[in-house]
Amino acid sequence: METYVSSSFPGARPRRLRTTPAMRRMVAETRLHPSDLILPAFVREGIAAPVPISAMPGVVQHTRDSLRKAAVEAVSAGVAGIMLFGVPEDAKKDAVGSAGTDPDGILQVALRDVRAEVGDDLVIMSDLCLDEYTDHGHCGVLTEDGRVDNDATLERYAEMAQVQADAGAHVVGPSGMMDGQVGVVRDALDQIGKEDVSILAYTVKYSSAFYGPFREAVGSSLVGDRKTYQQDPANVRESLRELALDLDEGADMVMVKPAGPYLDVLARVADAVDVPVAAYQISGEYSMIEAAAERGWIDRDKAILESLTGIKRAGADMILTYWATEVAQQF
Ligand code: PBG
């Protein structure tokens, strides 16, 4: 066999910029920073100690006390914000989600706790949705024949926005995918003089199997699915329509959710807007990496950073992730 002698060497050598860690760091196009990260956290009523969520190893349902500590820890790590979810006692769930508008409901109590603990050092956000509080597990109130009633739900959301803002939320996050929710929430906040409370709209929210572990996290007993209000994973043009509506109704920031399986949607949204864009790396995205790592199938820490870098690269200014504090502590 004759020795091969090439007559044409590559004219361009992209590998030159990958030669050393210092070189790679210098030319990196995307950089994660603690101030990109928002920690979603669950607080459960009536428990004496934090309860681990078995489908989300490393995540707990907090007591009021442990939530305060988690908030302080997040501030120390430089995390940007915290998104709070309330888990009421089962006995307090009802058809209209009364605990969600009770000023002494668990979420409102927790908002006051966290605001008292960390003040303005952390952007304090609240999930604005009824599913944690309804006995049927849907994000809204139901009609007599069991459908989710859009406009009756809006009235509940208006009231929720007001009690959450009163309790100290800097940002409310309407996440129920009811038509008109952003406009109604803006109006309700303004009516009680909360013009400064901003809205992070869950603008693009797909009906996703990856929410699975979240159901355990909030003890939701949903029967059926949310396909009549959350989006079909097959669609992207529809997301741009949701986006236009939410901006028109007064969204200050918009969110795409889930993140990982929808990076194309995230990129399209980020290209289209001039407001900050958030992406929510949801429970199933978290649990998949934790589960694979537990089995020794992937390098956990590298997979976490890669997943977050991908979300940022696709266009997210902020990322909600259950790893927020852990990742921020590495900086
Ligand atoms: C609605 C809400 C959900 C999540 C955040 N807000 C559940 C749903 O819409 O089905 C999911 C978050 C996650 O899976 O991590 N309150």
- Counted residue by residue, the chain has a size of 331
Distance from Cα 101 to the centre of ligand 1, integer Å: 19
pLDDT of residue 57: 97
Is the pLDDT reported for residue 5 higher than 90? no
Distance from Cα 88 to the centre of ligand 1, integer Å: 16
Domains located in the chain, CATH noted: 31-328 (3.20.20.70)
User: What is the distance in angstroms between the CA of the first residue and the CA of the last residue of the chain?
Assistant: 54
- Strands (DSSP E) along the chain, which ranges? 37-44, 51-52, 60-62, 81-87, 123-128, 171-174, 198-205, 253-257, 277-280, 318-320
Cis bond leading into 10, ω under 30°?
A: no
Is 93 catalytic? The answer is no
pLDDT digits (tens, 9 = 90+) for 301-319: 999 999 999 999 999 999 9
Q: Ligand 1: residues within 6 Å at CB?
A: 127, 129, 131, 139, 175, 211, 214, 226, 282-283
Residue with tokens 């309407």: 174
Distance from Cα 277 to the centre of ligand 1, integer Å: 18
pLDDT digits (tens, 9 = 90+) for 65-110: 999 999 999 999 999 999 999 999 999 999 999 999 999 999 999 9
Q: What are phi and psi of 45, to 5 degrees?
A: -75, 145
Atom of ligand 1 nearest to the CA of 131: 16
Catalytic residue among 194, 205, 227, 312: 205
Catalytic residue among 92, 257, 302, 312: 257
Q: What are phi and psi of 53, to 5 degrees?
A: -100, 110
Kindly report the protein residue whose alpha carbon is nearest to atom 6 of ligand 1.
175
Residue 223 binned pLDDT confidence (cut-offs 50, 70, 90): confident
pLDDT digits (tens, 9 = 90+) for 13-70: 999 999 999 999 999 999 999 999 999 999 999 999 999 999 999 999 999 999 999 9
Atom of ligand 1 nearest to the CA of 40: 15
pLDDT of residue 220: 86
Is 227 catalytic? The answer is no
Residue 1 binned pLDDT confidence (cut-offs 50, 70, 90): low
What sections of 38-93 are H helices per DSSP?
64-77
Q: Which of 107, 175, 283 for a ligand 1 pocket mutation test, highest count of atoms within 8 Å of Cβ?
A: 175
- Say which range, 119-123, 203-207, 219-223, 267-271, has the weakest mean pLDDT: 219-223
Identify any residues that bridge with 148 across adjacent strands, giving them in sequence order.
Answer: 142
Identify any residues that bridge with 127 across adjacent strands, giving them in sequence order.
Answer: 173
DSSP 101: T
pLDDT digits (tens, 9 = 90+) for 179-194: 999 999 999 999 999 9
Atom of ligand 1 nearest to the CA of 322: 15
Query: Percent of the chain, pLDDT > 70?
Result: 100
Distance from Cα 3 to the centre of ligand 1, integer Å: 62
Is the pLDDT reported for residue 2 higher than 80? no
Residue 224 binned pLDDT confidence (cut-offs 50, 70, 90): confident
ipTM of this predicted structure: 0.95
